[in-house]
Structure 1
């Protein structure tokens, strides 16, 4: 954990260097850095990917609930209305800013590998990696879910309302039904392997066997019944008893049944961790430590500070080129070194070492060349080449309460509809496929992200909080998108901070993801001039794949709330003056 006094001293020491990177004509009004982050009056706010989830969170805040209380309500609703992305059967990371103390803390609700998991569980009888579509829908794909126990930990420490009063909106919506949104309908019409899973078809199919269309009404009485038990029984409703028994049975069932047991579920523990923080311009950026890839985002920002990207803008191809090349360098390091630090040494300090970052930044030339290889940061161990695949099925939300507490939470069931296996109205994650399928090189060198019992798989989820020079909350951001999360969030930060765009415009800018030899992006959203400028620099941008971004953000600029939601999803960013409490 880090506290206000520590931030103020650290940021003060960094400000001279940080401000020197801004161009001489960079005004605070247009470039993003702020004169103050203190809101003129207390506000409550939620930015999330679905309006029903936003309203569920706002309803809790209006009753005097804390950001921790509202986060429970938001997740309960997202599990129902955005089941392709997150749910109570999945995991999450949360970055918490305490409005009273200035403390920034990390809550780790990442799934864990069952005790019976083995390093070769995703290899076939010939030692070759399993077909990915078969693996993600298998019983082996599900890790022990962590989101619910993590939320209970946070709410127990920071909640203002009773736990049993946080689920009413989700229960009512599950019973009365909700309208299938265009985005949910689009995924039901896709080609994902989960759509052939029996549980998916049973839940979403019409009487004639066709899947629901946008505009249809979907009810989920099984989920409503589960939430009632969760409200009254606490987390035991999921980790013990009848629901736990059904989870074990569903994951152990074939094809490719897993090893999860009741003891795995009962023994799951969320973790409270220290944040990893680094400077960017006039801010401190605080992210979760490994197994999150927050260190990768901090390295990306550190690389970009050693370029003139702040003098560029969204219409300048050189700005996008610098972002792409810095991204490639970051991904090369992230992919090789980041894993669960309880099981492998992750050179966090080395990856952020100024001399090492400077040496990596010098590799950015005038044209894009072959894929960069990972460097050797101080303290780096020998690592096997990474073969992890990260499907894109995740969501992010931001919540702020009247006391100045803020939640930045990224939450997931992994790929679309998780494993496609359902228990009590919610989908089970397929998070185990975030481990490396091939854990060893021929010489026996271990991958940083190999499967081990109890290990948490590497994650690209990077919920962040920005803190200003006085240790005050200045912003929060995160995204969905598998391994593209780091690029999505990085682009949005550059656009908001360096290029001075309002949060909504920053999130709406086209995405560009550069990793290895692949340059992918929203080609049709870039102007012909930008595409030509990138091509002249060796970047031939191709259409991307996956679930697209899901960036949700809040910035405080000159004392004014500036919230944004990703227009590629169906969310909202809502703020209101905090209600007066008796």
Structure 2
């Protein structure tokens, strides 16, 4: 597909009622600012690596993980909507066309800038009030295998995405709430072409067929997954979105849709969950203060705990500032061996701190009583002194001591983290956002719910509770900060990021990525590439990846020369190659407006004017 020649039927200004767009009662809404038009877009090939040009715009820009979702946000912005308005439209379409990654059954973090202030809107899922520390353990006191827990009712957290978007819209929306659901409702009713990425995900999935509703919807009568290009309608999701459009988040958290969710979780055949109607009704989205820190000539603002993303990114970057400068950080368009060594060693140290200290701030106290203690320059300088010419090796990094603790925390054992999608938007009103949204693993808990409609399709529920530590205590009986507790939000790696000029305060960029714990590495490297190495947004996202979660190193398969793998192994990194499928989106300010990049490893595009 030629991204420079995408043809889209543009929206136009009209004066009609929401009832005409959404099929709601006539008195539900009036003065719709735009009428959604189904776009003539087919998603690109999702597997492998597809070169993208980057996109220059003048007035506004939206970047999302699927062209249909990007176009929905584009049409909202073109009609005068705000960045939050566009994000709502984008998320609802992603629920439909990229169900494996995010949706109304999951959670999200949204960083928002209104031209003067930055707010962190928290829509992270919570553990049910009936959840116990042993939720993810078997009868013998051992942790469950990851997929035994994930593909079950046990893993479902109380979803927060819709409540969070409603809170953000109340503060920063311009178009009526109901109008923003028109793109997803239209596509759900008229149908959309299954993208190559969704088809590939379905073909590689081992657990979704076990769910009767999902099996009937995403697979044919022979149990074969839907193929790319198949036109798929989702009437159940259309009906659910109509209810949310007309009645707000209450439609999802109370009444028949909520009752269906609870029934599906509590009646799971293998491992039922404890989520209740009261859990859904009492869920609260939160507006938190962001964490903003200076780095070089920039002010980088990210999400506070329960996200570990910003703190860990800034620990990596801050630690590297205390290391000897690398003369050539880029060689032949790739990070050099010397730079990678420093980056990976700083990552090891930062992930060690992450594993001990970071969890839901309503349940744990930060070291020294302030999360900024983990980013103190003297502390990071002391951490940098631990980095030598050779790697400290897998599991060689120990947590530091950035400040006194009220409670001693154990280090959380390493466990899988997956999933997610990212949205970046800058509107013509001076608003900007970075939103990372998730149902955790691909297809979440593998539970499809139809809202009690009895219609085909619906939306998938998250498996977010597997982001908690499966074990509540270490071998010595010391509690783990990120253990399961009733009402608690699991630690996340999501890293929606806004960048400003530290002197003028001018917005510089919005960016973020999916990718589980590797989100941190993907976003950190993109920041370095854009802000330090002078690459544009697309060039930065094109760079090959290298990660470590504290153990072995993984280099993106086929993207580095053999000499890099050999050099890192000679330094003791225990490096090998593997798939590192990020989904970075980034928009940066330019002299002429904006320039956006979309990850060549996924289906995303950027649109604007």
- CA–CA distance in structure 2, aligned partners of residues 197 and 84 of structure 1: 14
Equivalence for 1:432 = 465
Question: Which sections of structure 2, spanning at least 5 residues, go unmatched?
Answer: 1-55, 451-457
Equivalence for 1:230 = 244
SS of corresponding position for 2:558: helix
1:535 to 561, 569, 572: 569
Q: Does 1:131 find its partner at 2:165?
A: no
1:314 deviates by: 2.6
SS of corresponding position for 2:474: coil
Q: Equivalences for 1:78-477 in 2 at 5 Å?
A: 78-99=94-115, 102-254=116-268, 255-293=270-308, 294-308=310-324, 311-315=327-331, 316-347=336-367, 348-370=371-393, 371-380=396-405, 381-387=407-413, 389-424=415-450, 425-468=458-501, 469-477=503-511
Shift in alpha-carbon separation, 1:304–1:559, aligned structure 2, 3 A:
farther
- CA–CA distance in structure 1, aligned partners of residues 596 and 314 of structure 2: 22
SS of corresponding position for 1:417: coil
- CA–CA distance in structure 2, aligned partners of residues 548 and 41 of structure 1: 27
1:157 deviates by: 0.6
Shift in alpha-carbon separation, 1:42–1:500, aligned structure 2, 3 A:
closer
- CA–CA distance in structure 2, aligned partners of residues 511 and 138 of structure 1: 32
Q: Does 1:512 find its partner at 2:546?
A: yes
Q: Equivalences for 1:28-39 in 2 at 5 Å?
A: none
Q: Deviations over 1:494-516 (max 9, x none)?
A: 12222221111111111111122
The 8 Å contact of residues 358 and 482 in structure 2, kept in 1 or not, is answered as yes
- CA–CA distance in structure 2, aligned partners of residues 312 and 194 of structure 1: 47
SS of corresponding position for 1:553: strand
- CA–CA distance in structure 1, aligned partners of residues 314 and 172 of structure 2: 28
Q: Deviations over 1:199-230 (max 9, x none)?
A: 33122011332111112121111111111111
1:563 to 574, 578, 596: 596
The 8 Å contact of residues 388 and 437 in structure 1, kept in 2 or not, is answered as no
The 8 Å contact of residues 49 and 569 in structure 1, kept in 2 or not, is answered as yes
Equivalence for 1:494 = 528
- CA–CA distance in structure 2, aligned partners of residues 507 and 474 of structure 1: 16
1:548 deviates by: 1.9
1:549 deviates by: 0.9
1:196 deviates by: 3.6
- CA–CA distance in structure 2, aligned partners of residues 239 and 548 of structure 1: 33
1:41 deviates by: 9.6
Compute the RMSD of aligned alpha carbons: 1.7
The 8 Å contact of residues 119 and 439 in structure 1, kept in 2 or not, is answered as yes
SS of corresponding position for 1:385: coil
- CA–CA distance in structure 1, aligned partners of residues 87 and 436 of structure 2: 11
1:559 deviates by: 5.3
- CA–CA distance in structure 2, aligned partners of residues 535 and 435 of structure 1: 32
Q: Deviations over 1:45-74 (max 9, x none)?
A: 101110000000010011110011111000
The 8 Å contact of residues 199 and 420 in structure 1, kept in 2 or not, is answered as no
The 8 Å contact of residues 310 and 498 in structure 1, kept in 2 or not, is answered as no
The 8 Å contact of residues 388 and 434 in structure 1, kept in 2 or not, is answered as no
- CA–CA distance in structure 2, aligned partners of residues 303 and 544 of structure 1: 26
Q: Deviations over 1:517-541 (max 9, x none)?
A: 2101213111234334333433343
- CA–CA distance in structure 2, aligned partners of residues 559 and 309 of structure 1: 33
**Equivalent pairs, count:** 534
SS of corresponding position for 2:372: helix
Shift in alpha-carbon separation, 1:290–1:410, aligned structure 2, 3 A:
same
- CA–CA distance in structure 1, aligned partners of residues 605 and 326 of structure 2: 28
